[in-house]
Structure 1
Amino acid sequence: MLASMYELGKLWVQKENMETINIVLDSDKLKNTNKVLFVDMNIDENGEINYDCVTLEDYSKKKNLNYLYKKGSSRGTNLSPSSLITEPNTTFDIKFIKWFKDNAKNDELINKSLEAIDENKDDILSEITHIYDELSSDDKRNVLLTIRFNTNDKTYYLNDYDIFKNLLLEKATEKSYKSGSKKSIGESTCYLCNEYKEVYGLVPGYVGLTFGTADKPGNTPNFNITEQWKQSGICKDCILYLEAGKKFVEKYLNFSEFGLRYYVIPTFFFNKKEVFDELYEDILEIENKRKYSDMVEKEDEFAEIVEELNDVLEFKFLYYEINNSSFKIIGYIESVIPSWLQQIYQTQQKVKSLPLFNENNMKIIFGEKNSGDFISRIKNNNKNYPLNEYNWYLGLLRDFISFNENKYYMELVNSIMTSNKIDYDFILKKIMDKIRSNWRNEEFEFMKINIFKSLHLMIFLNDLKLFRGEKTMKIGEATSPENILDTLDDPAKKACFLLGVLTRKLTLIQFKQLGSTPFVKKLWGLNLDYDKIKQLYVKVIDKLTEYNSFHYYGDIEEEITLNLAIADEKWNLNKNETSYYFVLGYTVGKDFKLNKEGENNE
């Protein structure tokens, strides 16, 4: 991962001919800034510095280098005199003047500036406050306070002086080798560029790209943090490329999906410069589209880029969370190639467009309220996040794997995106846990929706051949609810499905005659196995006979009897499978009819 981020940063820096100092600046944090307040200082011919005035100007993104903005500690100064104003007096005292006090001994220019500021601090603060108070509420939100110098009719900004840049760079990279009073520095071969030079030992943690932390003794050589540089020391030049790579993915390849935030990190196999240039141009085109339309989704556009790529690169997906400004990696997926992502996208489109899920069948199952196929119906009403054609499988997976089970969710996403096998029984258990919860809470409409969500998900995984072992979900071959029976490849599945259909028809008769459905309480909370299926079969037949309705469904009863007899020799469904096929039949049972000549109509 470090090597990929380093390479990406180096390509970006070279492509943009980027200055070193630009890499470490927090310029993106000024994107909502409208105004800049300059404390203007005059330098006379003798090199003496005097305060002139406070000047208000419009913020310009093109002048970010002049501002040298780099955020520091929330309780201390920034890494340059430039600071965003919270309250004029607080920012002026704690951020602005204090920076000069802390660094006065480093350079004569800084020391003389401090003397001039200190001598006129009341006037300077008064002007800052007056100008700030006159601003509109929108402009006040992010006002930048900084300093510049005028001499011989020329204006010089912080970036024009090496001392300001060098101090910023030194302070910015300090955490790459320093932890408290301890330092991890040595002479060795750099882990990234393979050159022998001074290297630092705490770089991954400084950049925010490590699973372990060097402040824990077990993660350091000889249990000593000062020797960490011996393990994977990185030189100063490579630190900046790493930071550039991190900023690239933060700016362009930083996504949020279904409760998780993640970076996409490309790794180039060959023709690296050409492939990067092509990818970068496509990314910039996305950014330009987003400037003019809020409807352009970053994730959708990235997926469209992937669809055009060949396997000349691969992607790494780094999932993370930020708590109290602390960056923590929670998951990492390696070696995802474009062709596999393309197959995932295409399979989603194929499953979404299956005849079983088309508008006509959805109207039969869910009524006329909404139009379109199933995914179109639920995409904007999904419980957690809207779905789209590129990510709906993740949304449905998240519906069955709760937020307090992120570990399992991450493992499944990892398996899917790297084409590794998945445990069929684990997925089905999670699905049935949700459906049983719906059943217990009498959320029958939600249960119906979750059945069709699960069908989409299971067919999708089946079509990608991701299930471990011999278990399959071939229902995707069905063209209508009635046709589901013909796609089931096992007599036990057929028996469960048809018993679910018959049970649904019984509850409809009950509701018509009694205004309630007491029989649903006899279904063991949808915890069914072979013995309970046989018991339930007898109970359903008895009840239908009691309501003088058995003769309507003799053909269904005949099929159940036949399939139960065949399956009796070897019942190979576990509780979750038995329950799933039963509840699937129950869900579509209202309008289900066997495709038999001369069947009785209700």
Structure 2
Amino acid sequence: MTILSLHLLFLQKIQSAERILLLIEDVLPSRIGELFRAKKATEALLYGDGHHPFHFGFIRTFFPSGVYDKYFLQVVEYVFQQKPLPISFFAPFFMEQIRADFYDYETGDWSFVNKTRQAVAVMVFLEQAGVLMKKGDKAVNGKFAPLFETYGGQLESSEKQAVFLLGALTQMLLDIQQQKRGSKPFLKQLMGLKMDQQAIKGLLPKVIGKLEEYESYYGGHRQLAEEISHLFLSSSPRWKLSVDELNFYFACGMNLVSKVKEIVWSKEEQ
């Protein structure tokens, strides 16, 4: 019986010398196959146009060279060896890069949108690859259950679902402002994506108030706000989520607003 395994050696060349950065031993071909399947699933879910093939450069985006090399290499090792990592490990790295582009979002710069989509892609890939730890197998119910299940098992709690949907509703408001005013002044209410639990909960009435001001608080917007309120009331009094995690889920909701719209409104209504 023949067993084939691979050894992956990562080197850094410094002038004429070579330094070993990482050695990953005994990677089975079956694991390589699993990673390619995770890659294809991620591309199909987030980049159906076929113009954005997923690769490790997506992960490297959030671990800049020279600054976070050791963390990037750790992720690479864990991916090939299928070792678990929690979302709390990735959230600070995701948000550092996402916040850096957020300030230019009002001017029409799409870097924030693209960077957030990359972070979602990394999250989906890592979960598909069996690396990103799930919080449990809690059943997801309600109108948005198919969406939460499609984008991985990270949205398993009421508070995460509420924050995600609030991000989507906020993006709907920003789109209305852009259409009617040519700008997105409500972005200032998002505190540079450094909101805590109190700020997140306090954001919902502000969004509703602005939608009413623009005579847009009806139909799908009202239904979505009611679902968010229900999820807030269903959540625990004290959320066990860091500020980085909260704002990451919020940014994900902003980025995937089109998927939320597909559920809130039928194609005919849209």
Letter in 2 for 1:524: M
Retained in 2: the 8 A contact 1:315–1:337? Answer: yes
Q: Counterparts of 1:469 and 1:599 in 2: how far apart (Å)?
A: 33
Letter in 1 for 2:229: T
Q: Per the alignment, do residues 482 and 502 of structure 1 end up closer, same or farther by CA in structure 2, a change over 3 Å counting? A: farther
Retained in 1: the 8 A contact 2:43–2:52? Answer: no
Q: Counterparts of 1:556 and 1:469 in 2: how far apart (Å)?
A: 26
Q: Counterparts of 2:268 and 2:230 in 1: how far apart (Å)?
A: 19
1:422 Cα deviation (Å)? 2.1
Deviation string, structure 1 residues 522-556 (Cα, Å, up to 9, x no partner): 10111122111111112111212222222242111
Q: RMSD in angstroms over aligned alpha carbons?
A: 3.1
2:46 equivalent in structure 1? 357
Q: Per the alignment, do residues 334 and 492 of structure 1 end up closer, same or farther by CA in structure 2, a change over 3 Å counting? A: same
Deviation string, structure 1 residues 39-58 (Cα, Å, up to 9, x no partner): xxxxxxxxxxxxxxxxxxxx
Q: Counterparts of 1:484 and 1:597 in 2: how far apart (Å)?
A: 14
2:65 equivalent in structure 1? 403
Q: Counterparts of 2:145 and 2:134 in 1: how far apart (Å)?
A: 28
Deviation string, structure 1 residues 322-346 (Cα, Å, up to 9, x no partner): 2221222222222222221222122
1:451-600, aligned counterparts within 5 Å?
451-468=116-133, 470=135, 484-485=147-148, 488-552=155-219, 553-589=221-257, 592-593=260-261, 595=263
Secondary structure of the residue aligned to 1:408 is: helix
Q: Give the alignment's TM-score, normalised by structure 1.
A: 0.39
1:581 Cα deviation (Å)? 1.9
Q: Per the alignment, do residues 600 and 559 of structure 1 end up closer, same or farther by CA in structure 2, a change over 3 Å counting? A: farther
2:7 equivalent in structure 1? 316
Q: Counterparts of 1:352 and 1:590 in 2: how far apart (Å)?
A: 17
Q: Counterparts of 1:422 and 1:407 in 2: how far apart (Å)?
A: 15
1:350 Cα deviation (Å)? 2.9
Retained in 1: the 8 A contact 2:147–2:259? Answer: no
Retained in 2: the 8 A contact 1:482–1:593? Answer: no
Q: Counterparts of 1:429 and 1:471 in 2: how far apart (Å)?
A: 22
Secondary structure of the residue aligned to 2:245 is: helix
Q: Per the alignment, do residues 415 and 499 of structure 1 end up closer, same or farther by CA in structure 2, a change over 3 Å counting? A: same
Deviation string, structure 1 residues 14-64 (Cα, Å, up to 9, x no partner): xxxxxxxxxxxxxxxxxxxxxxxxxxxxxxxxxxxxxxxxxxxxxxxxxxx
Q: Per the alignment, do residues 592 and 458 of structure 1 end up closer, same or farther by CA in structure 2, a change over 3 Å counting? A: closer
**Which of the pair is proportionally richer in helix?**
2
Q: Give the alignment's TM-score, normalised by structure 2.
A: 0.83
Q: Which of the numbers 333, 336, 339 marks the counterpart of 2:30?
A: 339
Q: Per the alignment, do residues 351 and 504 of structure 1 end up closer, same or farther by CA in structure 2, a change over 3 Å counting? A: closer
Q: Counterparts of 1:401 and 1:521 in 2: how far apart (Å)?
A: 27
Structure showing greater radius of gyration is 1
The gaps in structure 1 that reach 5 residues or longer are 1-269, 272-311, 360-371, 380-391, 476-480
2:89 equivalent in structure 1? 426
Q: Counterparts of 1:532 and 1:445 in 2: how far apart (Å)?
A: 25
1:93-492, aligned counterparts within 5 Å?
312-353=3-44, 356-357=45-46, 359=48, 372=49, 376-379=50-53, 392-404=54-66, 405-442=68-105, 444-468=109-133, 470=135, 484-485=147-148, 488-492=155-159
Secondary structure of the residue aligned to 1:403 is: coil
